[in-house]
Structure 1
Amino acid sequence: GAMYYGLNDLSNNMILLDRKQSRCPNGLVFGTPGSGKSMSCKREITYVMLTTKDNVIICDPEDEYSPLVNRLGGQVIRLSPNSRDYVNPLDINLNYSEEENPLTLKSDFVLSFCELIMGSKTGLEAIEKTVIDRAVQMIYQPYFADPRPENMPVLGDLLDALMAQGIPEAERVAQALDLYVNGSLNFFNHRTTVDIRNRLVCFDIKGLGKNLKKPGMLIVQDAVWNTVTINRAIGRSTWYFVDEFHLLLKEEQTAAYSAEIWKRFRKWGGIPTGATQNPKDLLSSPEIENILENSDFIYLLNLSAGDRKLMTERLNISAEQLAYVTNADPGSGLLFFQNVILPFRDEFPKDTELYKLLTTKPSEVAHDGESR
């Protein structure tokens, strides 16, 4: 059903929308720091949790969502070198539809992952792609023959399957992968130890540091895809919120993979929302066309002068409409939904328990003895 997205600034009526009913439920949220970006995502997450049976997954680069997730009974997964929460990037789910071979998609992911960790500006060479794909086909055979959790491959198996090919190209990929298997980043070389079946899962990737944030986000995206395929089989929707979305569009591999998800999610009952305070980076990505084209829900909060200019060109906003995202109060702005543009504001009552869970204003965040 429809959910609340603020008050219409012109008529004072409540804005009630059902993103699932749109041609393309994917969404984007833009706004400067302090404009109410995480707040609006958290409000939507709360509504989804309280009014539907859907799943929600959050990729949280700044550890802003855990108080709310804990209060709603969700599972927070901390991905970092000193955490004991493990997520296996090679997890695969066999519930794919007839037309999709699970290995094709998994191979896509592993190629993106290898390309990212090899850090080559020109991308993978044809032979490197071949040896990776060959290794992927190999390592899943035992699991397909006998799908028990202990037969699920890990990155170490991928490394072995590369080395076994005994050719320099395979060895080169293996050398890059070694850091993630035997080196200091080997926490990605474990079978999954956390329950990803909770209806609400938050991946806190703040502890991943600069170098690992992009591979981390890629792994989270793949875990989301796994959940989407499981849910599709039982007719349940999966909402996916990714904060600092511009980070994913900065690298060619993660950008291509994200655009692919944006296009593919819809068929599978997935509803992704990308939020960013950095529209400039987002809009300069070559993949942004695909993403904008496949997003019927755009929530614009307060924007800086430079971003307003970019947005005006991109979304054909008039000067009158532009006024609503110029020095806007937190929680106010413009909402694009299908073919409608509405000015909105959201004056959330501050004396509620929910407000305390939603806010990220440093002065208002309750420090209940948590180390943050």
Structure 2
Amino acid sequence: MRLEIWPTSIVTVNFFTLNAARKSDEMLEPDEWKRSRPVLRGGSGRNPANLLDYFALVKRLHGQVIRISATSKDFVNPLDINVNYGDGDSPTDLKAPFILSLMELIVDRREGLEAIEKTVIDRCVGIIYQKYLADPRPENVPILGDLHQALLNQKDIPQAQTLAAALEIYVTGSLRLFNHRTNVDIQNRFVCFDIKELGNQLKKLGMLIVQDQVWNRVTINRELRKSTRYYMDEFHLLLKEPQTAAYSVEIWKRFRKWGGIPTGITQNVKDLLSSAEIENILENSPFIYMLNQGPGDRAILAKKLNISEHQLSYVTNSGAGEGLLFYGNVILPFADKFPKETELYRIMTTKPEEVG
């Protein structure tokens, strides 16, 4: 079962369980690799054969796989920024809300950050980016350790010391994975972020940080007059937590203005539609691509998307590559028979008997 939600009319690319991919419009045009996956993956995203197959595709297209885990030597800096990051005079105007979301996950408090804590974090953001704004070179971009020190320097504010204590494990402790400068090629036209090996303590942070890395790329590409396509498999996971959900919706809306084309992919329809933010996503997604659905999911989707009984028949026990396309108020059945005698099929197939 698969449901895909797109904010613009582009053809599907079913990629990367628990990964996120970005490519600019320099690469293969979507119509050249239109497809339906011959095998639909289970919702757990734990099929290593499938993941290896996707990495092979990235490699074949000369892309970059960035593996983010506690044992990996690939590092991405959550505080990465560029001069075009913001929409106003200062790039930190948009970076500060991301760092607030990051700190909210780190503090992990049901009621979120206190007003004073938000003010202190915002003040420290301004401090740690002063060097970069004065001389915007990569080596002047701060890391989490700089934020930690800036918080410690607010000696007269108890809340700042509390925030610094919460951040410490991510700077000098066992979860210091993200306290490094970016050391991988994120300028490649085709990038896959693999976060499947992140433990529970870092998974939410990893999802948020990857989204910000993609946004960073979107802002650079817009300046170069390039569009950016962003595919998020297991999309329901991004909407599960309030902090990542709010930021995901903000990114979704912002992308369209900045030449980005995000695609959400999920097989867990119930989890997706249970999110309080799903209405904001659907309202900004005129295109939906739907494959075979189970009875429970069909009933939910029929009510949510006003699908008739006849139309539901096209996602009931349907074959591979068959389903419904939604574009605005139009619903169309489709059958996509991808030719097997092609190199693209050989690269993309996930059928065990066909994976060599």
TM-score, normalised by the number of residues in structure 1: 0.82
Q: CA-to-partner distance for each residue in 1:170-198, whole Å, 9 max, x for gaps?
A: 12221221121111221211111011111
Aligned partner of 1:49 among 12, 23, 27 = 27
Instruction: Give CA deviations for 1:39-85 in whole Å, capped at 9, x if unaligned.
Output: 9x99x989983237xxxxxxxx7645211110000111111111111
Residue of structure 2 equivalent to 1:25: 8
CA–CA distance in 2 between the matches of 1:238 and 1:185? Answer: 31
From 243, 248, 254, the counterpart of 2:244? 254
Q: Distance in 1 between matches of 2:295 and 2:89?
A: 45
Q: Residue 50 of structure 1 aligns to which amino acid in structure 2?
A: L
Q: Which runs of structure 2 are paired with 1:1-372 in the superposition (5 Å)?
A: 24-25=7-8, 37-38=14-15, 49-51=27-29, 63=51, 65-96=54-85, 99=88, 101-166=90-155, 167-366=157-356
CA distance in 1, matches of 2:28, 2:326: 24
Shift of 1:161: 0.5
Q: Quick one: percent identity of the two aligned structures?
A: 63
Aligned equivalents of 1:317, 1:175: Cα separation in 2: 52
C-alpha distance in 2 between matches for 1:97 and 1:135: 18
CA pair 117-46 structure 1, distance change in 2 beyond 3 A: closer
Distance 1:344 1:99 in 2: 43
Residue identity in the other structure for 1:272: P
Cα 1:100–1:197 shift into 2, 3 Å: same
Do the aligned partners of 2:227 and 2:260 also contact (CA within 8 Å) in 1? yes
In terms of mean alpha carbon deviation, does 321-330 or 349-358 score higher? 349-358
Decide whether the 8 Å contact of 1:28 with 1:275 is kept in 2. no
Cα distance in 1 for partners of 2:178, 2:231 equals: 22
CA contact (8 A) 2:26 2:189 kept: no
Alpha-carbon separation, structure 2, partners of 1:324 and 1:231:
38
1:361 alignment partner AA: K
Structure 2: give runs of 5+ residues left out of the alignment.
1-5, 31-44
> Partners of 2:312 and 2:211 in 1: how far apart?
33
Q: Is the 8 A contact 1:28 1:273 kept in 2?
A: no
Does the 8 Å CA contact 2:125/2:147 hold for their aligned counterparts? yes
Distance 2:78 2:348 in 1: 30
Q: Distance in 1 between matches of 2:171 and 2:287?
A: 40
